[in-house]
Structure 1
Amino acid sequence: MSSALTHKRVWSKLTTSALLLGIVHAFVDTASGFLIFRDLPTGRMPYPTVVLLVVLYNSLAFGGQVPAGYLADRLGSYRGAAIFGALAAATALLLSPTWPVVGIVVVGIGNAFFHVGAGALVLRASGDRATESGVFVGPGALGLFAGIWLGAHNLPARGAIVAALVLSVPFMVLVARSVRPSRTELPVPRGGVLLLVIICAACLLGSVTVRSLVGGTIAGTWRGVSTEVMMVLAIAACGGKMLGGIVSDRLGWTTISVGALVLSAPLISVLVGTPVGAVVGMVLFQMTMPVILKAMHHVLPGRPGL
């Protein structure tokens, strides 16, 4: 599948709006990383319990996007979902020093609602472009790294993160007002092809799962070994997602996605233990993310939240 908008500008007002939402995305993920690495009482809880709490967070933050997206689609309130998610993340940071389990639950739910709400705003407005999706999702990697680093080093960043999330609300309101649904030039699946839609959705969700596992494998290889490489990997993940959307719209979704995936395979499987191999592999592999998001939206055009 190739883009039909190669004649349009690489950067537009909509792209700037997507970037602003992407910055809030970074704040939300910073809150999650900070809470987990700062507030989970590893000294007072058995290690298996801490692991279960991390699994609980992942289940809510990622698995929770399905019911959160369904609810946002039903209500048609994507701006409300995004704002609720950001404020929930801020609230979780205030609760977690006293009630860490409650904080984990609240930040997980907030993360899910923000992602589906803000993501749906971007998907609906971007037509058949993947650029805006990449610009939105990219900063999350930087935010997560920042939160983990700040939390692991016990730095007093809680107030600043809460303030950033609260102050982002009026900006989200303004951005959401400026973002309007756009018509797409891509063919929309017609009625009577429900089975095909389900199969395509399952394949796309599977690709998201594989992408997450591989990204975690690359980062896990260097976690605890080199903070510098981990920071560069976060920058690479952000840059790969943003670059992937932009380049895919210029040269074609299939060409870039398949090409990046093929080129990343030997780097991830053989050279992941070297800094250059890990970083280049991360960039190439993450380039597929914005296209996956837009492909999923194409399969379910009436359900941008889901």
Structure 2
Amino acid sequence: MGKTAERRLGAYALLHFFVDFACILLLCGPVRQELQTHAEWALCMLLYNGCAFALQMPFGVLADHVRNDRLTAALGMLLVAIAWLMPVIPGVERCAIAGIGNALFHVGGGRYALAYGSGRAAAPGIFVSTGAVGVWLGVWAARGGLWPYDWTRLAVGLTMLGAAFLVYWKADAAEPSVAVPSAPARWPRTGAAGLCLLLTVLLRSFLGGLTAFPWKTGALSFACVLCVAAGKAAGGLLGDRCGFARTSALALCAAAALFLPAFSVPAAGLFAVLLFQTSMPLTLSALTRLVGLQNRGFAFGMATFAIFLGTLPDLLGVADAFCTPAALAAGTLLSLALLLPGLGLGFARRREETA
């Protein structure tokens, strides 16, 4: 991997921010205006999240067979551009189109980042870190009334269209080459490790919806999102340097302790969120090691499907009852209790296969 591949990884991370920004601005702006009731809005949110997250698993399996990350990512951005540039399409349908486009882009960019990392966590951590900032800014722009203007629709749609063209046209020299032979599966150990890792992702997604701190408004809300992004990026870097298990144990134990005063002390909440997010790229990389780099689209899709399942309580409005410091702290420790066996079983399997 040379400089060109590094620049392409950075480009995918930047585009991840813009794709999420464009989708959320569309959803919370023009689509929200078309809907008449809160029930319609809730259904639309569920539809978007289902398309954007749950569909990444079948798309990932398909991408593992096609093995053309640039085409997958470019097609996703093309669909997001269509959702913006075709206002004659009803809002709910545009929401579904944008969600499918978001899923395809994530699969294409995620496969590239995982191939670039070759089992390490820094590259996928950098790729996934920018999405949360895009989501926050999309909501902020919609609330600020940026979306009604025709120039916004054209600017976002045409920018996305141009990015799709550039990603597809300028990628040949940077495509990572991965040739990893399939190893005989040891299903009891592999299945147990995979289940632990996926439950960790699901639980982390659910707990992320509980961080509705009373002080999380205005500048502090943006600071919290920056901590989410920084935690994901730092987690991959620290995991590669210090080890996945050690990094996860130290970060999540500290996060659990900081969650206890987090609702009344903003600094504690910000550091807790940052530390809590460090395990995200480690879990993703561990899943990829478990199933093999040749199946990295499937691994990425499994993780996002677990994320979708974890968001359902929040989307259905039943998560508020668990929004307490004790629940966050206990859930963080439970996440660690699931993650460490998943890492141990999965990495032991890889050591056996390479022995």
User: TM-score range with shorter-chain normalisation?
Assistant: 0.7 to 0.9
Instruction: Count residues with an aligned counterpart.
Output: 292
2:163 matches 1:168: yes
CA deviations over 1:85-141 (Å, ceiling 9, x no partner): 111112112235751101110011111111111101111121132111111111111
CA contact (8 A) 1:130 1:294 kept: yes
Shift >6 Å, 4+ stretches? none
Query: 2: distance between equivalents of 1:282 and 1:48?
Result: 31
Give the SS at the match of 2:204.
helix
Query: 2: distance between equivalents of 1:110 and 1:164?
Result: 15
Q: Percent identity?
A: 27
Give the structure 2 partner of residue 255 of structure 1.
246
Alignment RMSD: 2.5
CA contact (8 A) 2:74 2:165 kept: no
Give the direction of change, closer, same or farther, for the CA distance of 1:232–1:190 in structure 2 (3 Å limit).
same
Query: 2: distance between equivalents of 1:61 and 1:269?
Result: 32
Give the direction of change, closer, same or farther, for the CA distance of 1:181–1:210 in structure 2 (3 Å limit).
farther
Give the SS at the match of 2:296.
coil
TM-score (norm 1): 0.87
CA contact (8 A) 1:15 1:135 kept: no
Give the direction of change, closer, same or farther, for the CA distance of 1:288–1:277 in structure 2 (3 Å limit).
same
Give the structure 2 partner of residue 6 of structure 1.
none
Deviation at 1:175, TM superposition (A): 4.4
Give the structure 2 partner of residue 190 of structure 1.
183
CA contact (8 A) 2:70 2:171 kept: no
2:231 matches 1:240: yes
Query: 2: distance between equivalents of 1:246 and 1:192?
Result: 29
2:208 matches 1:212: no
Unaligned runs of 5+ in 2: 299-355
Deviation at 1:172, TM superposition (A): 2.3
Query: 1: distance between equivalents of 2:64 and 2:244?
Result: 26
Give the structure 2 partner of residue 3 of structure 1.
none
CA contact (8 A) 2:122 2:233 kept: yes
CA deviations over 1:7-49 (Å, ceiling 9, x no partner): xxxx976444322101001111001210121023457522112
Higher relative helix content = 2
Give the direction of change, closer, same or farther, for the CA distance of 1:124–1:238 in structure 2 (3 Å limit).
same
CA deviations over 1:250-287 (Å, ceiling 9, x no partner): 11111112211111113234414432122111111111
CA contact (8 A) 1:267 1:281 kept: yes
Give the direction of change, closer, same or farther, for the CA distance of 1:176–1:300 in structure 2 (3 Å limit).
farther
CA contact (8 A) 1:27 1:161 kept: no
Query: 2: distance between equivalents of 1:143 and 1:264?
Result: 24
Give the structure 2 partner of residue 265 of structure 1.
256
Please point out which of 148, 154, 157 is paired with 1:159.
154
Give the SS at the match of 2:120.
coil
2:272 matches 1:275: no
CA contact (8 A) 1:222 1:230 kept: no
Give the structure 1 partner of residue 177 of structure 2.
181
CA contact (8 A) 1:96 1:104 kept: no
Give the direction of change, closer, same or farther, for the CA distance of 1:257–1:294 in structure 2 (3 Å limit).
same
Give the direction of change, closer, same or farther, for the CA distance of 1:102–1:285 in structure 2 (3 Å limit).
same
Give the structure 2 partner of residue 7 of structure 1.
none
Q: Which amino acid aligns with 2:53?
A: F
